[in-house]
Amino acid sequence: MKDYIRSVFDVVAESPFIPLEMHAKKGVLAVEKLAEAMEAYCSGNQAVLEERTEEIDKLEHDADKLKQKIRAGIPSSVKLPVDKKDLLSFLKQQDSIADFAQAAAYWMNLRPCKTLPEEIKNGFLELMGASLKTTRLYDELAGELYKLLATSFSKEEIKETMTIIPEVEKLEHDVDVLETALLKKIFENEEAIGGAGVCHLMGLVERIGGVADKSASSADRLRTMILKR
């Protein structure tokens, strides 16, 4: 199997799995910057919020360039140790992590956070922390993919990788629970926040929770890709 992988990558010129791991890193870095943006948003520090948004923009752009590089580096005439369609489906989900981080940062910049009750600010910080935790664990999972290739998809390595996926999904479920609790707090404070404020915060909850959701979806696609190979 190792000789097979080596011969394939000699034709392709570069393993698509190396930039794939780099692509995952861009996503988690974007979410880490988003966590810093959230802290700035909740404290009313617009300057830092704008700086982090620009940094997230760059990371998302870098992730897009890597995505195109990976797509271009997989000729249809070359067989890979995993199904090409599964690989591209996996890549699409993984790319959405940085997309959601960018969307959340943009959304924060649309409306200031000056009059939000502290319980809602704390709710957003907790939600952001849980989403970041999910993405970091997913990043660890994505790093296992190249190990699988290096060991020719040994049963032991596959088993170890598969144990991480339910953990990512469990963390994503925890994020869903926090989303519901935060939305409840938002509606309870509707009079103080106002209708437009409620709509804005609902959108922000959706985008931050989407980061964790896309991490879990990527983990699921990774499982499919490995099991179907």
pLDDT in tens, the chain (229 residues): 444 444 444 444 456 677 888 999 999 999 999 999 999 999 999 999 999 999 999 999 999 999 998 888 776 655 677 888 888 999 999 999 999 999 999 999 999 877 889 999 999 999 999 999 999 999 999 888 767 766 667 777 788 888 999 999 999 999 999 999 999 999 999 999 999 999 999 999 999 999 999 999 999 999 988 887 7
Q: What is the number of structural domains in the chain?
A: 1
Token code pair at residue 202: 């609902």
Nearest CA-CA partner of 59 in 88, 20, 35, 95: 95
- Model's pTM, two decimal places? 0.89
Domain with residue 110: its CATH number is 1.20.58.220
Q: Which range marks the domain in which residue 197 is found?
A: 2-228
Nearest CA-CA partner of 135 in 71, 222, 212, 34: 212
Helix boundaries (H) for 73-194:
84-110, 118-150, 155-188, 190-193
